[in-house]
Amino acid sequence: MTRFLLLLLIALICAPAAFAQDRDYSYYEFYVGYAHQRAYNNASHFDRGGRATSNGAPVDFANERVGYNGFTAEFNQNVHRNVGIVTSFTGTYDTTGYLDRNSGNTFNASVQRYDLMIGPRFNWRHSAVTPFAHGLFGITHMRAKFDDPLSPHKKSATAFAMAFGAGLDIHASEHIDVRPIMVDYVPTFFNGKRQDNFRAGAGIKIK
């Protein structure tokens, strides 16, 4: 009886290692990397639809697509060899100018963009690389701090957002992948309208 229990204990200890040898993916993955985003500046929100004023003069900002730089962090739980559930957080930043179409003056502002999304990722696993594609859904939050005071002025805005994209992971070691490229189309819906934004990045994935 004692010998049987000992053999059972050894089998239980060795079982995870045996299963791991048959599995070419990890259950949990963490990614962090650089992100560059070309996104609209949400001008119509921050100038209150052209109703804001500066020193008593009306301000009407021009909608423009601006470059933001920052980071992306992800947690991915693989529920299948080819399917994972990704939670993604991106923070990008820029000091940019908002052009006033009324006066021709530029109003400088420090802008922060945060994207929090979740959704499925589909992986095509090979021995050396793993191409992937995903569809993510969540929110985008923007904050703008202007050098010149506006009245009335909304300093922040939050809207529904999505991200449809793809990328490539190169297997560098048992626990490390290098992601040389990930590209996303990121539509946002501030003020009830769609804004077409784009994001690209690269970084390191820990398995």
Residue 9 pLDDT > 50: no
Predicted pLDDT at 4: 43
Residue 92 pLDDT > 60: yes
pLDDT confidence tier of residue 101, bands split at 50, 70 and 90? very high
Q: Which residue has the tokens 């904050």?
A: 143
Nearest alpha-carbon partner for 162 in 199, 125, 191, 107: 199
Residue type, 129: V
pLDDT confidence tier of residue 95, bands split at 50, 70 and 90? very high
Residue 153 pLDDT > 90: no
Predicted pLDDT at 12: 44
Predicted pLDDT at 51: 86
CB-neighbour burial class of residue 199 (10 A; exposed 0-12, middle 13-18, buried 19+) = buried
pTM above 0.85, yes or no: no
pLDDT confidence tier of residue 7, bands split at 50, 70 and 90? very low
Predicted pLDDT at 83: 96
**For the chain, first and last CA: distance in Å?**
40
CATH of the domain at 168: 2.40.160.20
Between 56 and 167, the more confident residue is 167
C-beta of residue 184 within 8 angstroms of C-beta of residue 74: no
Q: According to the 3-state scheme, what is the secondary structure of the chain?
A: CHHHHHHHHHHHHHHHHHHHHHCCCCCEEEEEEEEEEEEECCHHHHCCCCCEEECCEEECECCCEEEEEEEEEEEEEEEECCEEEEEEEEEEEEEEEEEECCCCCEEEEEEEEEEEEEEEEEECCCCCEEEEEEEEEEEEEEEEEECCCCECCCCEEEEEEEEEEEEEEEECCCCEEEEEEEEEEEEECHHHCCEEEEEEEEEEEEC
12 is a domain residue: no
Q: Write the pLDDT tens digit of every residue in 69-90.
A: 999 999 999 999 999 999 999 9
Predicted pLDDT at 48: 86
Residue 41 pLDDT > 90: yes
Predicted pLDDT at 22: 52
Total of domains in the chain: 1
Domain boundaries, position 99:
27-206
Predicted pLDDT at 182: 98
Percent of the chain with pLDDT over 70: 88
Predicted pLDDT at 155: 86
16 is a domain residue: no
- Residues 6 or more apart whose CB falls under 8 angstroms from that of 52 comprise 46, 58, 59, 150, 151, 152, 153
Q: Write the pLDDT tens digit of every residue in 119-146.
A: 999 999 998 999 999 999 999 999 999 9
- The alpha carbon of residue 95 and the mean position of all alpha carbons in its chain are separated, in whole angstroms, by 20
C-beta of residue 31 within 8 angstroms of C-beta of residue 204: yes
127: left (phi over 0), alpha (psi -120 to 50) or beta: alpha
